[in-house]
Chains A and B, each alone.
Chain A
């Protein structure tokens, strides 16, 4: 029998929901990126927007990060979960109905009202928590629904069968549920410095307990699935997993070094940050060793995005460990260096991996359009934009830090930044916008089922039953 896309389709994967969340992810991505680009331009043309409140820098800046984290990454993660959970657990997700509700809630009761409210001036001045409390309540409900949707399939089979991606999914969903209310509500109830201590925790937990675990779940899934070889070491994968969940939450206070928060808390966080760097090296080594044979820049588009994201993960984590140390923190804190760092994390690591997961899942939807050329363009544009932006902002940060330490009049640091802001706005942001638009084109044009074709031309398409064993712990390693 000739293999068609249909015969290879994974049973039980609700491709409609993968697709819906994927499209929502791309749409919210483009909106969030637009907000980001406008604020980048406002730093060189500050009167852009002509003082209209809903176009003012602060409100757009709030919308930018909430959109990236919840809209783009949230939807992309859900899309990936609808693809991966059935394959990992051998069971369908809890309910398609629930899925429709989750989709509707996330996009029309979180993102839409969240943005409208922030832009009209109802928000929280808390980083990674800018949507107002009413929207936060919906987020928590939606996260609970996501837990009900995705977790039971894992438990039905028993913990000992869990592959590391499954652990990351469980960990990510459970810990986000714990951390989200802490970050969004506690600072409203606890004043000043104490509230800031909790905010610091959340700033790190948002990245460490929501974004990182789900991105790593994708990486651990896509690498073996695309190379069709089991992961290099299941032991290291689990070691990395547990260390990560132990260490990430302890990092938070490193956002407030030299502050009035008790020094022992600061030192705990600084130490945890250093150890976390070591853990990340373990995780990344394990992931990269698992790609052996696929090349430094793999041919398969999904894999290539993921692997590039993992490179960024390594760099950004080592950078993070270093900049938590007092001597470096002193030189770069509050500067654009940190903005470069967070883009290396959220764009370089999380978004590349999420895009890789999305492309990977898309390739395996029989009826989804897939335009390999556009995706190739997307990749290179994004790499170029990311590199330019991070290098640019890192240098900008060093320049600003030096001027501040030297006691120069403040405005000189603003004027000295202009060159770097021009490069970011006129250079990096167009490359990145082009890349994201190309990604949207890549996943909405081209022939239906074109994904399989692309896979065939790469490593060769394999039916899912051949991939699944690569995703089993213990047995998978043994077979």
Chain B
């Protein structure tokens, strides 16, 4: 090998080595530094005028989320894809993650995306689920985290409370920003022709199908549900909370407030069950099931009805009916409504909708118990100390009289 050849090779390699390092630098510049500048400009322009920083508790919760590797089963990044958006909500904008040091985007979904977790699950659901996921969701593979608790799901330690505070902060800033925030971001984006970027703006920030809500319109379901299918589904999805026979005593029930409804001790109209399935029961752990096809929901309606174990109760003497109506008008009407339809004047202010007695009829026994003890975790207060025994019996009967489902 001659020397000049050696020198030429050396020169070539030197050039290539410098180029190699430059390419690395270029990659960082092109795919790291430059995107960062774009993202930061976008963040500054698009974020709402007043944003809420994370609370100390949420920050501690975030550290727990990081340390337990929740992010290796859950993403926090909704992509610009209709399949993502239909399930979780609007795509994650850069400003939404700007307090994330480091980011928790994730690259694998064993469980669902959590970037819009706020308001999706009630706190009692979260605690019971973290303590023992399979006591709530039978087919879940999520690990249990009993170390965050003091021995029971309704005794969360600070760690569990912080974690749930954190979960409940995910996506909240975007929801709080509201329509004004969306308009502002859309304007800042200034991208009317960019079809993809436009996908990020809309009114349904959170599209989670399990998020409960009050009074959402329920689509019509097929009239006759497939009972066998419904019972199978009930066993897989509902029995954890409501119990196999519907008595509200499933393995997850004890930790929930209010407790899951006793489906066996009620008569329901189909519409009431459909409503509970489509909208969930806001203010309780009862999720909505909007991701289930109408046939499945109809099947579940049939299954819930088949749980009905109520019997005809003895009628009341006429003078008692009068007492019942009087007590009701004086004490119950403002919540449950004059017609028993749950639309009393105070109803809208309550954290939970008062029972609509036209659509569901509790057994006399259940009705009396609800009156005497109230329903823990709901605005329904105990009346045992305020009403006499006769009055209680009378009004417990009275509310049963509203039922419009009759005989079916």
Which one of A141-149, A174-182, A442-450 is at the B interface?
A: A174-182
Q: In the complex, how many angstroms separate the beta carbon of A404 from the nearest chain B beta carbon?
A: 6
Interface residues of B in 290-325 (CB under 8 A from A): 291-292
Q: Is the CB of A198 within 8 A of B32?
A: yes
Q: Is the CB of B32 within 8 A of A415?
A: no
In the complex, the number of residue pairs spanning A and B with C-beta atoms less than 8 Å apart equals 249
Using an 8 Å CB-CB cutoff, how does the interface string of B337-377 with A read, 1 for contact, 0 for none? 00000000000000000000000000000000000000000
A59 CA to B145 CA, complexed, in Å: 12
Q: Is the CB of B24 within 8 A of A56?
A: no
Contacts of B111 in A (CB 8 A): 410, 414
Give residues in B with beta carbon < 8 Å to A.
1, 5-6, 9-10, 13-14, 16, 19-21, 23-24, 26-28, 30-32, 34-36, 38-40, 43, 65-73, 75, 77, 79-81, 83-84, 86-87, 91-94, 96-105, 107-112, 133-134, 137, 139-147, 196, 200, 209, 237, 289, 291-292
A330 adjacent to chain B (CB < 8 Å): yes
Q: Is the CB of B39 within 8 A of A193?
A: yes
A51-B143, A171-B20 are contacts. A262–B35 as well, Cβ < 8 Å?
yes
Q: Is the CB of B68 within 8 A of A408?
A: no
Q: Is the CB of A255 within 8 A of B92?
A: no
Q: Is the CB of A252 within 8 A of B196?
A: no
Contact of B144 (CB < 8 Å), options: A51, A259, A268? A51
A46 CA to B110 CA, complexed, in Å: 13
A57-B143, A160-B9, A334-B75 are contacts. A187–B102 as well, Cβ < 8 Å?
yes
Contacts of B110 in A (CB 8 A): 43, 414, 417
Contacts of A42 in B (CB 8 A): 141, 143
Which one of A26-34, A92-100, A120-128, A315-323 is at the B interface?
A: A120-128
A245 adjacent to chain B (CB < 8 Å): yes
Most chain B CB within a 10 A radius of its CB, from A188, A198, A417, A475:
A198
Contacts of B142 in A (CB 8 A): 46
Contacts of B6 in A (CB 8 A): 158, 160
Interface residues of A in 162-182 (CB under 8 A from B): 162, 171, 174-175, 178-179, 182
Q: Is the CB of B102 within 8 A of A126?
A: yes
Q: Is the CB of A159 within 8 A of B34?
A: no
A61-B72, A159-B10 are contacts. A253–B143 as well, Cβ < 8 Å?
no
Contacts of B143 in A (CB 8 A): 42, 46, 49, 51, 56-58
Q: Is the CB of A197 within 8 A of B32?
A: yes
Contacts of A380 in B (CB 8 A): none
A178 CA to B20 CA, complexed, in Å: 12
Contact of A46 (CB < 8 Å), options: B34, B67, B144? B144
Chain A residues touching B, range: 35 or more
Most chain A CB within a 10 A radius of its CB, from B27, B87, B110:
B27
Contacts of B19 in A (CB 8 A): 242, 246
A417 CA to B67 CA, complexed, in Å: 26
29 contacts between A and B (CB under 8 A): A46-B143, A50-B144, A58-B69, A61-B69, A62-B69, A126-B102, A187-B101, A187-B103, A191-B103, A193-B43, A193-B97, A195-B101, A196-B105, A198-B28, A199-B103, A250-B23, A253-B35, A259-B80, A260-B200, A262-B35, A263-B196, A268-B31, A330-B83, A334-B75, A339-B108, A404-B87, A407-B291, A411-B139, A414-B111
Contacts of B200 in A (CB 8 A): 260
Contact of A258 (CB < 8 Å), options: B39, B79, B103, B209? B79
Q: Is the CB of A201 within 8 A of B31?
A: yes
Contacts of A246 in B (CB 8 A): 19-20, 23
Q: Is the CB of A262 within 8 A of B39?
A: yes
A201-B31, A258-B80, A263-B196 are contacts. A127–B107 as well, Cβ < 8 Å?
yes
Q: Is the CB of B291 within 8 A of A260?
A: no
Q: Is the CB of A190 within 8 A of B36?
A: yes
A47 adjacent to chain B (CB < 8 Å): yes
A56-B68, A246-B20 are contacts. A258–B81 as well, Cβ < 8 Å?
yes
A160 CA to B14 CA, complexed, in Å: 10
| Nearest opposing residue in chain B for A130, CB measure | B69
| Nearest opposing residue in chain A for B37, CB measure | A194
A250-B31, A261-B39 are contacts. A51–B87 as well, Cβ < 8 Å?
no
A256 adjacent to chain B (CB < 8 Å): yes
Using an 8 Å CB-CB cutoff, how does the interface string of A179-221 with B read, 1 for contact, 0 for none? 1001000111111111111111101000001000000000000
Q: Is the CB of B99 within 8 A of A269?
A: no
A46-B144, A191-B99, A249-B27 are contacts. A260–B92 as well, Cβ < 8 Å?
yes
Contact of A59 (CB < 8 Å), options: B32, B68, B100, B133? B68
Contacts of A175 in B (CB 8 A): 20, 24
A46-B143, A57-B73, A250-B31 are contacts. A191–B9 as well, Cβ < 8 Å?
no
Contacts of A295 in B (CB 8 A): none
